[in-house]
């Protein structure tokens, strides 16, 4: 009985143990599912911030390209315009070895080349979508980074949403040229995220990731050089105790390799700006003293702080005043003393959130305060793209602390935040419409700056290209009345007269304007070349050649000048000189089918038909509407060098592709 009882108990224990094992397995499966669910929930607020951002920026997808640097960066940039699958890697090497309008940001230009290959210029929507998608990735990285910097999910969601939909983001996202902002921002934030992960796990591989991401960020925009300073700000925020000077030095020394990279990119960037003339552009308008520049910098700093709270008067261009208003000095003094006081207070009281927010904002905005002037404006909304993260983070942390200290005020605070974010969303959607096209862009600028010539001139160029000649002429006239000594305005108005001219009188108006442009800027080769084309249409061939010679001497890389001069030489019967100019053009732009075709024609005039066949073959590499004509002319060249079979094949290709203007004698000779 006892033995039986013992066996029964043992059986129960075995059963119980087995049952317990089964239960343990069940718990493990539930735990894995629970962890997976928790992991998904951890990312969900960030994804919601991304969705909200996409909704706000979806209206930008229908925007056009604009005539403010979009032309120079991609749709008139030969490296992007002429890229093909065959020359892609050669072009890529050139992109990474040259700057564009004084900026060394090859990675965005490289993405433009890829988009041109993939989408062409006819579909701006795809280009805008790339900017939006890159911005969305940045928003998600802000969420991840905020969580790693110990914000709760609600505060991290707030920081990410603010970063995503703040109206000051629009310039960086809705302007295709500012691909460099969202691209450098992506790599910059990813590098910071990797650095915070390194602070947690001390894995050496993180330094490799940080270095690679930092280099990619620098190749995207020179502004990325502030990364090591941002890393030091993270060191300060995550320090286990109050920082001393020894901690600052230790943190800085550990970032020396990154500082050296920053120095290299920074010096190269300044050299590019200097060589292009951007650093001198401000002095050409006004001559500012160092004190003036400090006042401008301090005033800009204060404006950025105010626009963080309420982004008023957002303009794509903030032109310099002719002289620095006295108000700037007062506001600059307030900005400097107030910021230093707040920073010292935060450091002494060890208020990490305030200190981190201010430090991060300062180190990412200080190099952009135009104390060393470059460009045409002293402010730019896009300059805040990364810098505002520090302020967004500090605000989100403050809200989190307020809710923890006073839970009773949660409903009121949530309501205020929802209203605040809703206002930002509406402002962002409206600001997207400013970038709809060049007309809306420059009309918006003119709401605030009616005494500035640049918006009138650029809007006039848009009207001229759209064949809205009456509107264009009115804007050109306004520009010249405001300031007479504007060679660029005279050159642009002359182009309008040249384009619309149907008789001599209008061409003489163009000639008069080109004369004015040359009078004010005699060393600009483009003006001489344009005047040469006008002389040519007036039948003044000798003067045309003289102007073209002068212009190409001043500007030897002006490709269309060689085309114009080659036409003059051909009309004068100087075919050898015409051919030489065509060949020079093709060294500058080897991807023009029409010019390879013209080279073939010139070679045939010189009875060099075998070489002409090679030129026509080059022309046929490019898909243009003139391909049937290329086949037809190559057929003639083949026939001349007694390759009748090849001539017949090309003739048939020309006919099958729709070529109709055939020579009956040639057709008969081929037996067709």
CA Rg value for the chain: 32
Q: Indicate the range of 79-88, 329-338, 433-442 predicted with least confidence.
A: 79-88
Question: Which residues on neighbouring strands pair with residue 409, listed in sequence order?
Answer: none
Task: Give the C-alpha separation, 429 to 425, whole Å.
Answer: 6
CA distances from 119 to 113, 114, 116, 145, 255 (A): 10, 8, 5, 34, 41
Task: Give the C-alpha separation, 525 to 319, whole Å.
Answer: 27
- For tokens 């201010």, what's the residue? 358
CATH topology of domain 441-610: 1.25.40
Q: Name the nearest CA neighbour of 214 among 234, 235, 181, 189.
A: 189
Which one is predicted more confidently, 378 or 219? 219
Per-residue pLDDT reduced to its tens digit, 601-621: 999 999 999 999 999 999 998
Per DSSP, 73 falls in state I
Percentage above 70 pLDDT, the chain: 91
Check if the beta carbon of residue 317 is closer than 8 Å to that of residue 69.
no
Helix ranges restricted to H, 606-643: 609-619, 627-640
Task: Give the C-alpha separation, 135 to 130, whole Å.
Answer: 9
SS3 663: coil
SS3 468: coil
SS3 288: coil
* pTM, full prediction: 0.86
Residues 6+ apart with CB under 8 A from 190: 141, 213
Predicted confidence at residue 551, as pLDDT, reads 96
Locate the domains of the chain by residue range.
45-438, 441-610, 611-672
- Helix, strand, coil fractions of the chain, as percent rounded to 5: 80, 0, 20
Residues 6+ apart with CB under 8 A from 179: 108, 111, 112, 130, 131, 134
Q: Do you know the residue count of the chain?
A: 672
Predicted confidence at residue 290, as pLDDT, reads 83
Taking the C-alpha atoms of 413, 414, 418 and 423 in order, what is their torsion angle to the nearest 10 degrees? Answer: 10
Per-residue pLDDT reduced to its tens digit, 109-157: 999 999 999 999 989 999 999 999 999 999 999 999 999 999 999 999 9
Percentage above 90 pLDDT, the chain: 72
Q: Which helix (H) or strand (E) holds 279?
A: helix 278-285
pLDDT-derived band at 29, boundaries 50, 70, 90: very low
- How many Cβ atoms from other residues are within 10 Å of residue 438's Cβ? 23
- Cα dihedral sign, 65-68-71-74: negative
């Amino acid at each position: 009985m006892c033995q039986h009882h013992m066996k029964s108990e043992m059986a129960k224990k075995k059963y119980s143990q087995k049952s317990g094992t089964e239960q343990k397995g069940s718990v493990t499966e539930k735990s894995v599912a629970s962890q997976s669910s928790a992991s998904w929930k951890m990312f969900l607020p960030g994804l919601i911030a991304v969705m909200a951002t996409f909704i706000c920026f979806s209206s930008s997808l229908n925007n056009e390209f604009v005539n403010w640097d979009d032309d120079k960066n991609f749709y008139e940039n030969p490296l992007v315009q002429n890229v093909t699958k065959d020359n892609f890697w050669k072009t890529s090497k050139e992109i990474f070895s040259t700057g564009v309008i004084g900026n060394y940001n090859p990675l965005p230009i490289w993405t433009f080349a890829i988009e041109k290959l993939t989408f062409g210029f006819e579909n701006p929507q795809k280009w805008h979508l790339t900017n939006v998608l890159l911005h969305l990735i940045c928003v998600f990285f802000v969420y991840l980074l905020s969580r790693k910097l110990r914000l709760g999910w609600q505060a991290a969601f707030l920081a990410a949403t603010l970063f995503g939909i703040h109206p000051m983001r629009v310039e960086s996202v809705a302007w295709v040229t500012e691909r460099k902002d969202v691209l450098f921002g992506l790599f910059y934030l990813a590098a910071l995220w990797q650095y915070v992960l390194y602070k947690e796990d001390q894995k050496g591989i993180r330094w490799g990731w940080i270095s690679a991401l930092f280099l990619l960020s620098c190749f995207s925009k020179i502004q990325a050089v502030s990364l090591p300073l941002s890393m030091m700000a993270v060191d300060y925020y995550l320090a286990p105790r109050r920082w001393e000077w020894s901690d600052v030095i230790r943190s800085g020394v550990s970032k020396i390799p990154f500082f050296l990279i920053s120095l290299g990119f920074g010096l190269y960037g300044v050299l590019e700006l200097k060589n292009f003339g951007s650093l001198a552009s401000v002095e050409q308008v006004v001559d500012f003293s160092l004190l003036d520049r400090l006042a401008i910098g301090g005033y800009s700093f204060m404006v950025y702080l105010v626009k963080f709270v309420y982004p008023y008067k957002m303009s794509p261009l903030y032109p310099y005043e002719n002289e620095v208003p006295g108000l700037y000095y007062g506001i600059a003094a307030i900005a400097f003393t107030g910021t230093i006081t707040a920073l010292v207070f935060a450091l002494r009281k060890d208020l990490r959130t305030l200190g981190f927010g201010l430090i991060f904002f300062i180190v990412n905005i200080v190099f952009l305060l135009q104390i060393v002037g470059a460009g045409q404006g002293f402010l730019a909304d896009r300059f805040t793209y990364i810098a505002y993260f520090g302020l967004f983070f500090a605000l989100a942390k403050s809200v989190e602390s307020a809710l923890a200290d006073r839970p009773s005020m949660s409903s009121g605070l949530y309501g205020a935040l929802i209203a605040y974010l809703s206002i930002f969303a509406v402002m962002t959607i409206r600001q997207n419409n400013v970038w709809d096209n060049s007309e809306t862009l420059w009309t918006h600028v003119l709401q605030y700056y009616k005494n500035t010539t640049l918006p009138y001139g650029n809007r006039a160029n848009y009207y001229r290209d759209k064949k809205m000649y009456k509107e264009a002429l009115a804007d050109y006239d306004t520009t010249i009345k405001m300031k007479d000594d504007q060679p660029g305005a005279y050159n642009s108005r002359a182009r309008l007269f040249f384009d619309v001219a149907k008789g001599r009188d209008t061409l003489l108006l163009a000639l008069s304007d080109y004369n004015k442009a040359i009078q004010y800027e005699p060393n600009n080769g483009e003006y001489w070349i344009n005047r040469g084309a006008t002389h040519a249409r007036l039948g003044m061939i000798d003067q045309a050649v003289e102007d073209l010679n002068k212009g190409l001497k001043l500007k030897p890389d002006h490709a269309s000048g060689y085309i114009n001069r080659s036409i003059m030489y051909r009309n004068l019967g100087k075919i050898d000189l015409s051919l030489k100019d065509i060949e020079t053009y093709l060294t500058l732009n080897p991807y023009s089918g029409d010019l390879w075709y013209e080279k073939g024609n010139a070679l045939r005039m010189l009875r060099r038909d075998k070489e002409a066949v090679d030129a026509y073959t080059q022309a046929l590499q490019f898909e243009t509407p003139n391909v049937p004509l290329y086949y037809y002319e190559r057929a003639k060249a083949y026939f001349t060098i007694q390759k009748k079979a090849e001539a017949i094949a090309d003739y048939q290709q020309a006919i099958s592709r729709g070529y109709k203007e055939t020579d009956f004698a040639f057709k008969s000779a081929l037996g067709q």
